[in-house]
Chain A
């Protein structure tokens, strides 16, 4: 075993924990510094999900993805800041202060994997793990000008990922370029007996910069209302670059987009209300007062330990699942989700890839999104891929008002390879 010294100048508050002497071994990633989002369990390293309720929690085991990183020789150098439990689009919902965007420190890095994105964009590490429930890898990748991939649902084990909305979320790679994202996916993808939703679909691909003959669908909804025309313009230029590289593009439509965001927020808050019931101060976290009655003790711990957005989502989910409302919200959201999947299946019988902006705007200014609904609305272009379980990548494609813009490329389930190749072809052509 060797040790890597790691003492970054963390002026962006990207890290919640730093391993100054990070052990590493032999392998494909030998000695390479990798940052890990703080909702992914790391044996012996404090893991808080950026929440006061997990302050001091030291996981007794590694997440499967972390175990694979260690086996490949990587040096786990620290845990990165995030929106508490992954709930947010800015990394401002952290109990330990916001992360700043390295491209402009008056702006947010995006979220919820904002710490991982800032660590990569700020050159503290080359690669990081993030998690993506409704855009949490792709949004900060776009806002910070790096590459981030949400793999196909089931391609990477969620064992050891502290669950927020388990039917939607995936661990995925973030890096300074497409090759690094691909290398990291090679290490973390594959079947895991501890996560029964994983498939035996390892990823052994090296990116190839060739998209000749591919057909790319351009959904009108991705350039519609709410999308900043400057961002749309930058992305359209990037898409014409894909055409120059030999791909053909066709306009298309995803009619279910009109209720995708609502379906997403109903589903994720319902799952959160169930998943986060475990945080009661008994097995971990601040002690519940054992002299008080069960409900009183839990209420006390949870009110003090959870931030406002987490409490809001738990309550929304509890409401949407409560007697008399289940049919109106949760059941309808699942039908809408199937419609989103069906729309993508239909489109992917005609096109090989779908492309558009990752985010409707550039990075927000700090404290700009103070109203929860307006923050939720900014996830409109990323949540469809989570609802459908398909792979989606964000690759930097230029700037608007001096800030990075991300080109989002989505593909058929388990065609992460093709999504990566297209992003690689674009990246190679412009750099």
Chain B
């Protein structure tokens, strides 16, 4: 059972942003969905997952990449050839 406070906390962790008036609906829906997920409690054991894939390595040689202007083309905020990001401190 998750509460509105839990949903608020999850939204915070996910940087998703949530309005107070949305909390009730999301909480109600999450509880219905999580109730359904409880069927997984019946699953026995813990299998080690194996995949028949191996790591694919290549020599560390520089290959052609996108030119700087192409990389910047979709960035909404730029300065002096760099992408401008929100402050982290």
Which residues does A use to contact B, with CB under 8 Å?
56-58, 60-61, 193, 196-197, 258-259, 261-263, 265-266, 273, 277, 280-300, 302-304, 306, 311-312, 314-316, 318-320, 322, 328-329, 331-336, 338-339, 371-373, 376
Contacts and interface: CB of A to CB of B under 8 A. Distances in A.
A302 B37 CA distance: 26
Interface of B: 2, 6-7, 10-11, 13-19, 26, 29-30, 32-33, 36-37, 39-47, 49, 53, 55-56, 58, 66, 70-71, 73-77, 83-88
Given A259-B43, A312-B29, A316-B33, A306 B75 contact: no
Nearest to A266: B37
22 contacts: A263-B40, A265-B37, A280-B15, A282-B77, A282-B85, A283-B74, A283-B83, A285-B74, A288-B77, A289-B86, A290-B77, A293-B87, A297-B86, A299-B16, A314-B16, A318-B14, A329-B40, A334-B49, A335-B43, A335-B44, A338-B47, A371-B29
A332 B45 CA distance: 8
Given A262-B39, A328-B40, A300 B14 contact: no
A290 B41 contact: no
Given A61-B66, A299-B15, A290 B85 contact: yes
A312 B26 contact: yes
Contact of A328 (B33, B41, B53): B41
B56 to A, nearest CB: 5
Given A282-B77, A292-B86, A339-B47, 8 more contacts: A193-B58, A311-B18, A314-B16, A315-B16, A318-B13, A319-B30, A322-B13, A329-B37
B56 A60 contact: no
A86 B59 CA distance: 35
B60 to A, nearest CB: 15
A302 B43 contact: no
Contact of B74 (A284, A291, A297, A315): A284
Given A57-B74, A292-B86, A258 B39 contact: yes
A58 B37 CA distance: 38
B13 A336 contact: no
Contacts, number: 152
B74 to A, nearest CB: 4
Contacts of A284: 74-76
Given A303-B16, A315-B16, A331 B46 contact: yes
Contact of B32 (A58, A288, A373): A373
Contacts of A193: 56, 58
Contact of A294 (B19, B39, B83, B87): B87
Contact of B15 (A286, A298, A320, A338): A298
